[in-house]
Structure formats: structure tokens, C-alpha cells
Amino acid sequence: MNGNNSLYEDNKVILEKINTIRLKALKHRKKYRLEEANRPVSHWIKEDRLRDEIGKEFTIILRSKGCSWGLSEKGGCSMCGYYLDAMNEDVSTTQLKNQFDFAYNKKINEIINDPHNFIFKIYNSGSFLDDNEIPQEVRTYIYDKISKLEKIKEFVIESRLEYIKTEKLEEIREFFDKKYLEIAIGLETTDDYIRNNYINKGVLFESFIGALNLLKEYKIGVRVYLLLKPPFLNEQGAIDDCSNSIKKLIELNVNSISINPLNIQKGTLAEHLWFQNRYRPPWFYSLFKCLKKSIRQENLKSIRILSDPSGAGTKRGIHNCLKKECESSARKRLQKFVFTQDLRELEQLGYECECKKKYQFTKDYF
């Protein structure tokens, strides 16, 4: 894949560990019933930040065979437990279409009757552009249906870099001329060493630049996922890594940056380290520091900064001291910033918690 053998020389031990943990988790995981292949993993509608306004997202997560990278001998990424949601065996074209139709039919009236504009996101916990995960017939079936919905102004899919190829972009462009398209890429960090040795992503920054240029040619937007606090980084290291990445991506004129603070998913190396007390998910304070350090208000005229952390305020997700007021105030502050794209929201004095002192004392060590 995108790799270069020298990238993996330092992570052989990690790779072995990831594979051992995955095999064990797969042995104990629940077997999906046939009817579950006809239902998506989940789907929902909720408030979201669109490019020029606050609107709503309609999201569907398809249950596909699973991410090809995760199913390969390369073991998948060190924080990713999505393979446990996947079927791990072939899902037919009809089943994938049934999954989409199930969610679409349930929500279509709500979408049509809602006064807000929508962003549609379709994910499959892997790469939407990988034919082994989502066959062409399913992709075009979905493109056709979504392209006809006036209320949907933006359309987002996600893919690893190796599937972002001319023919796939031509295919999607055939269906969409007016809607804004964005492809989300899990770059995680602009640092090749961290990405490939601590995250085991198997992706080089130079490949990202190639994909970025190609997407610009097709006038397709780029959304980059950054992982806040990969395994083996302490809080300060995480702030530095994420803020350096944001600055670099702003210079490169990407369209959206979505910051994903690491959340502890089952069956992952991150969970293994967390059980051993060798990893703690990031503090909210670190996320705010990182945003303030790397973004100026004028940048937000041309780039959208997003973050909707899974498990926020719980011990497996980004959290401060777990006190209710402290977590809810941090969550609200983040959400307000994302919705308004106004950095002043990060300066608002919400609930001032005494845990900040503990954070300041420990951030260089843990």
C-alpha cells in the first residue's frame, strides 16, 4: 500500500501487538446475524456546521466487509476498533443498498420537511472508494439518490489515500454538479513518523499532497481528520503535534479540518495501553490550547474547523476531571466554537474547575 518499508522498521513490535489484540478480540466478538447485513451500523440527523451556516447532518454508517487496511496483515490503526462493527466477510451489493435504503426511507420525510439545509455524510468505517468495501454499483446508486435531493447542499465520503484515483473522482463528478463535495482523509497528523510508527497508518505525507492536488483539479473539497494524542505522546507532545499539523494544513488550503481526540475503542492497542495505565485520552484543556495556538480568526474565512468528539466527557473519551459541570462546560465551549467558527468562544469563561492545576502539573509527564 502507500507504504515504504523503512516506515515500518520501528514499529514491528507495535504491529505484532496490534495483530495479537485484534485476533483475540475477533475470537470473542459477537457474530452478526444475516438480517444485520441489511441494516446500517447506525444513522442519525443532528445539528451540524455547514460551510456557511448552521444546518443539520444526515449521517449513515454502512456495515461493509471492513477496512481493507484493517483486514490486511498490516493490522490496521492502533486506535481503531471499527473492525468489530464490520461483517469481516463479503456483504453483497443488494445488502449494502438495503442498508442505505433503510436509513434513507426512515429519514427522507424529516429531511424534506425540515427548514434547515443538510450535509449528507456516508461512512463505512473504512474507504467508500475501495471497490472491495463498497462496489461501484452501490456507490453510484447512492450518488444518484442523493444528487436529486435539493435540501442536501454538501456531500461527504471518506477514503484512504490509495483509492482516491482519477476514475473514482470522474464517477462522482458525473452525478454532482451543484452540490459541494468533500472527501475526508484520515491523515491523523502531518508527521510521518508519528503517523506510521505510533498510529500504524501506512500512509506518507507526500501521498497526501498528491491526492490533495488531484482533488483540487476536480474541485472536490478536502476534509482532513487529525488525531489528537496518538498513543505514546504525552499531553504536551499531543498539543505540539496537532497544532503543527493544523498550521501546515492551513498553509496547504485544505477545506476542513476535523479534530478527533482519541477515544478508547475496544480491541485496540490504545485500549491495551489504557488498561495498563500507560495512556490517558486527552484533556479538553489540551484541545483548547492546540486550537488557540494554531488558528487565527482570519484563517476561518477559508477553512472550517470541526470537532465532535466521540465519548466526550467520559473516561474513554476526551475529558478533564469527569465532574459533570466541568465536562459539560468544556463540551459546550467546543460545540459553540465549531458552530460559530468564532475563536472568542474558546476564551469564554465557563465553569472554572480546580482540575486545571492538576492538568498543568501533569501535562509534560502523562
Which residues within the stretch 170-209 sit at the binding site for ligand SF4 (CB under 6 A)? Answer: 186
124 binds, among Zn ion, ligand SF4, none (CB under 5 to 8 A by kind): none
CB of 324: closest distance to ligand SF4 in angstroms? 31
Q: Where are the alpha helices (DSSP H) in 84-204?
A: 93-113, 136-147, 166-175, 192-193
**What count of other Cβ atoms lies within 10 Å of the Cβ of residue 63?**
22
Judged by CB under 6 A, does residue 229 bind ligand SF4?
no
Least Å distance between CB 172 and Zn ion? 45
* Binding region for Zn ion (CB under 5 A) out of 138-146, 185-193, 265-273, 355-363: 355-363
Q: Does 282 bind ligand SF4 (CB under 6 A)?
A: no
Determine how β-strand 54-61 pairs with β-strand 304-306.
Answer: unpaired
* In contact, 242 and 259? CB cutoff 8 Å: yes
CB of 278 to ligand SF4, least distance (A): 21
Rounded distance, CA 75 to CA 23, Å?
10
Q: Does residue number 70 form part of the binding site for ligand SF4 (CB under 6 A)?
A: yes
Q: Give residue for cell 473516561.
A: 315
Closest CA to 176 of 193, 196, 153: 153
Q: How far is the CB of 248 from Zn ion (least distance, A)?
A: 32
Closest C-alpha to 128, from 186, 209, 67, 40 = 67
- Residue 286 touching Zn ion (CB under 5 A): no
The answer to the question of residue 74 lying near ligand SF4 (CB under 6 A) is no
Element (H, E) at 48: strand 42-49
Q: Name which of ligand SF4, Zn ion, none residue 77 binds, using a CB cut-off of 5 to 8 Å depending on partner kind.
A: ligand SF4
Region near ligand SF4 per CB under 6 A, out of 67-75, 137-145, 233-241, 248-256: 67-75
Which of the choices ligand SF4, Zn ion, none does residue 267 contact, using the CB cut-off of 5 to 8 A by kind?
none
**Closer residue to ligand SF4 in complex, CB, 22/333:** 22
Q: Does 231 bind ligand SF4 (CB under 6 A)?
A: no
Cβ nearer to Zn ion, comparing 253 with 362 = 362
When asked if residue 353 is in the footprint of Zn ion (CB under 5 A), the reply is yes
* Cα 116 from Cα 119, distance rounded (Å): 10
Our finding on whether 99 is near Zn ion (CB under 5 A) is no
Spatial strand order of the sheet with 256-261 comes to: 42-49, 54-61, 118-123, 152-158, 180-188, 221-228, 256-261, 304-306
Residue 355 near which of Zn ion, ligand SF4, none (CB within 5-8 Å, type-dependent): Zn ion
69 binds ligand SF4 (CB under 6 A): yes
67 near ligand SF4, rule: CB under 6 A: yes
Name, in order, each residue with C-beta under 8 angstroms of 214's C-beta and a sequence gap of 6 or more.
Answer: 164, 166, 169
Instruction: Give the H/E segment covering residue 355.
Output: helix 355-362
Q: Which residues make up the interface to ligand SF4 (CB under 6 A)? A: 67, 69-70, 76-77, 80, 82, 125-126, 160, 186
